[in-house]
Chain A
């Protein structure tokens, strides 16, 4: 999707939708087939949401829709009309990482960083629901997010460390 989309003269049904992402409202005309992931990446310019499989298995595109985690590749943008969305870009405050991000940094919870946004969003939901998870619960929760670099152990430790920090 480029800014040249208007060069297409194909006439297709489009909808005007409004989605609030990380506090900003984005209104755009949107083809029904456009996934929320592509809407975020191309229309909103938020490329932190990554596409690793586009069929709902890898979890790299996980975002929060109205506070609950969702695969942005399995959600059509038109379905998110009116929704409030948080992406990885919404986690830090200014240039200050949040405790979860800090814990990933301290525990080598990322290598290439491609799965990381999805891991962070999934863990964000987990820690909101369960502030004191054990390692087995963290593993089960993260099992919908594939990582090819870390072997997961450091991610599990990162999330447990973040939980400790957030409990204070």
Chain B
């Protein structure tokens, strides 16, 4: 399980990284935390001709609030975001979801950008960014562009990124104070990719009706799925048990799970619906709480 031969270049800034990618095309791979890429190379399932290491590019690890958004640099380590007060204050769903990502040791090196660019449909971070309608910031030879999360992921391990583009960060809308958030996950073991995962954020208006709901599921399609129908069923309503159940009942039509070695599609459908109900219930219960 030794990686195949590969060349290596350390980019000094994003422009240099983009130039290296442009030069080598799809044979080149960006090396961030390496927590997904290095094992793929050890399995010899990935065999880039050159690794473009972006670890030493300054400023790519920022975690900051900006105009009602949370800005996270692609090289921000997952563990740093998990422990960041700034992130917790703006998007409390994020630290909560990050605790499900692998283990501390993995999160120490694993990056936010790496997880998003790797685009595992069972992963937590893509689900959070999808639920919240985040924007991914890409830099290529022609400059910078911003892509909405729901447009970014195109399939299992694939995104809209061109071979010569670098993901430099993600912008997430700040959740209003007293938003309740919840992560519900069915994984075979702690730290594993979810068989099915659901992330939810719910905010209640003063009259007790839902005025903000954000909901996405992982492990139920080739991309993380924003559950718009369930959101619509809840939006503006009082979140009674019946309403939550009705919202969960819409999930079946929104997802396209497949069989794998850990669970058949039918199981994923059943569990997705159940976890949506549980996640919404938990988020509602936590909404209104001071944070």
**Chain A residues in contact with chain B, CB under 8 A?**
10, 12-13, 15, 31-33, 35, 38, 54-56, 59, 62, 65, 68-71, 73-76, 78-79, 122, 125-126, 140-141, 143-144
Contact = CB atoms under 8 A, between A and B. Distances in A.
B106 A144 contact: yes
Contact of A140 (B42, B43, B190): B190
Nearest to A142: B103
A43 to B, nearest CB: 15
B7 interface: yes
Contacts of A55: 1, 39, 42-43
Interface stretch (B17-25, B30-38, B240-248, B259-267): B30-38
B173 interface: no
B15 interface: no
B218 to A, nearest CB: 20
Contact of A144 (B2, B8, B191): B191
Contacts of A73: 38-39, 42
A74 B103 contact: no
A12 B5 contact: yes
30 contacts: A12-B7, A13-B7, A32-B6, A32-B7, A32-B51, A33-B2, A33-B4, A35-B42, A54-B42, A55-B1, A55-B39, A59-B103, A59-B105, A68-B79, A68-B108, A68-B109, A69-B108, A70-B108, A73-B38, A73-B42, A74-B39, A74-B109, A76-B38, A76-B51, A79-B31, A125-B104, A125-B105, A126-B104, A143-B189, A144-B104
Given A31-B5, A32-B6, A33-B4, A56 B38 contact: yes
Contacts of B38: 35, 56, 73-76
Contacts of A74: 34-35, 38-39, 106, 109
